């Protein structure tokens, strides 16, 4: 695995012998690593499976790319069940627990000799593939880390996406058109947005020990509206957003956003406590596409503000940025790039560089501000963002020794 974003500082957390986390459906889960290297998984405090290392290895480096003398081989893990059967949903949860521990590799060899019925599920969903190694057995597979974080095989009740904000399965590609100030473009018809107040995304953040959720903002919800108005009227937020005003101004802004099919606003919560506001939009219909060009039909754009002071700081900010972009990539698998255009000179610029492996394409002029052009590519996101800092710092040390 190669991490090549110079300023990016990945999510950090200590890795105790027993790691506690929550699934998107709020089921408590634990993964415990024993002295023998076995990883035991429990769901709702009930042991369900273990991944035990076997006394053999399999090649994980691609045969058509990497020469034999530098190919990487890893020990094979065997899936061992605590009961006669394991549902696909619980198997996915066990793989979640495994990847939270084995974040240091892109592939993991897995033997299903004791659970051959899981082969179709893993192979047909893309959670795993057949090994290239000629020495592999008929029940061996390679688990794919990047496929897992793209929600391959995720059961609906445990998907990080909590509602139908995705355009798949098969929302059609139908030509549509937008004419607006600074925008005149052909683009695909967009899927309808979920109702205000609908939860869009949730993920337990190990580094914080809390669940982060994104919910479609509801201006009719007094709790949402009061927090949003207070945030926009603060001096710090107004420097970046410029939306200070009275209640009528804020209601009009949110009403325009709700009526606009290309943009969706959402509130950000930590364990149910409101923390900030963000927006996800289809970039082709956004003014950034007019002024930077080259964006695809399904590329997206984001905006973010952290309103509550107690929820600021790098760890939470990085987790929110990561989750917001994760939601965007999950809701539309045809999205290749997500862009942002924060006002040049704001303190958030270096924070964005640290939070995600963005490409920074310099600054450009918009009618109302000079902005910095950030771009995040799908492949780079899924290759890099779920790595604890230990792996990055180890790589940086290795690079310095070359």
DSSP symbol at 250: H
Which candidate in 78, 269, 285, 341 is catalytic?
341
| Token pair of 66 as six digits | 């990497």
**Radius of gyration over alpha carbons of the chain, in Å?**
22
- Spatial distance between the Cα atoms of 174 and 176, rounded to a whole number of angstroms: 6
Q: Which residues, including other chains, have CB under 8 Å from residue 350's CB and lie 6 or more apart? A: 7
Residue 341 annotated among the catalytic residues of the structure: yes
Alpha helices in 126-167 (DSSP H): 145-149
User: Taking phi first (over 0 means left), then psi (-120 to 50 degrees means alpha), and beta for anything else, what does residue 131 get?
Assistant: beta
CA 377 centroid distance within chain = 12
Q: Which residues, including other chains, have CB under 8 Å from residue 220's CB and lie 6 or more apart? A: 196
Is residue 188 within 8 Å of residue 227, measured between CB atoms?
A: no
Q: Using alpha carbons, list the distances in angstroms from residue 87 to 15, 74, 109.
A: 27, 27, 21
- Spatial distance between the Cα atoms of 161 and 226, rounded to a whole number of angstroms: 26
* Catalytically active residues, by annotation: 341
């Amino acid at each position: 695995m190669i991490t090549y974003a110079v300023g990016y500082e990945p999510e950090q957390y200590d890795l105790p012998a027993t790691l506690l986390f929550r699934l998107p459906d709020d089921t408590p889960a634990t993964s415990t690593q024993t002295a023998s290297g076995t990883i035991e998984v429990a769901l709702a405090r009930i042991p369900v499976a273990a991944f035990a290392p076997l006394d053999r290895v399999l090649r994980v480096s691609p045969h058509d790319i990497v020469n034999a003398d530098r190919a990487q081989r890893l020990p094979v893990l065997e899936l061992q069940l605590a009961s006669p059967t394991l549902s696909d949903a619980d198997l996915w949860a066990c793989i979640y627990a495994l990847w939270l521990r084995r974040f240091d590799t892109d592939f993991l060899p897995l033997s299903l000799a004791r659970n051959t019925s899981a082969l179709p599920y893993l192979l047909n969903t893309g959670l795993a593939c057949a090994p290239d190694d000629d020495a592999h057995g008929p029940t061996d597979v390679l688990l794919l880390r990047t496929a897992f974080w793209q929600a391959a095989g995720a059961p609906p009740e445990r998907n990080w996406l909590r509602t139908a904000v995705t355009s798949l399965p098969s929302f059609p590609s139908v030509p549509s058109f937008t004419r607006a100030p600074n925008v005149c473009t052909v683009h695909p018809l967009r899927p309808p947005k979920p109702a205000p107040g609908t939860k869009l995304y949730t993920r337990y953040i190990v580094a914080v020990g809390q669940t982060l959720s994104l919910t479609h903002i509801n201006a009719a919800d007094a709790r949402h509206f009061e927090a949003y108005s207070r945030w926009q009227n603060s001096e710090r937020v107004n420097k970046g957003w410029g939306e200070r005003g009275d209640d009528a101004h804020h209601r009009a802004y949110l009403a325009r956003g709700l009526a606009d099919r290309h943009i969706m606003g959402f509130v950000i919560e930590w364990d149910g406590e409101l923390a900030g506001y963000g927006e996800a939009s289809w970039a082709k219909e956004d003014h950034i596409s007019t002024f930077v060009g080259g964006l695809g039909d399904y590329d997206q754009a984001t905006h973010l503000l952290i309103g509550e002071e107690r929820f600021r700081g790098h760890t939470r900010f990085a987790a929110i940025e990561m989750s917001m972009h994760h939601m965007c990539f999950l809701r539309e698998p045809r999205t290749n790039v997500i862009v942002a255009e924060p006002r040049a000179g704001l303190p958030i610029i270096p924070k964005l560089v640290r939070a995600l492996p963005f490409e920074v394409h310099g600054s450009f002029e918009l009618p109302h501000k000079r902005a910095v052009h950030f771009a995040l590519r799908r492949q780079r996101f899924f290759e890099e963002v779920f790595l604890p800092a230990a792996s990055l710092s180890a790589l940086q040390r290795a690079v310095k020794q070359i």
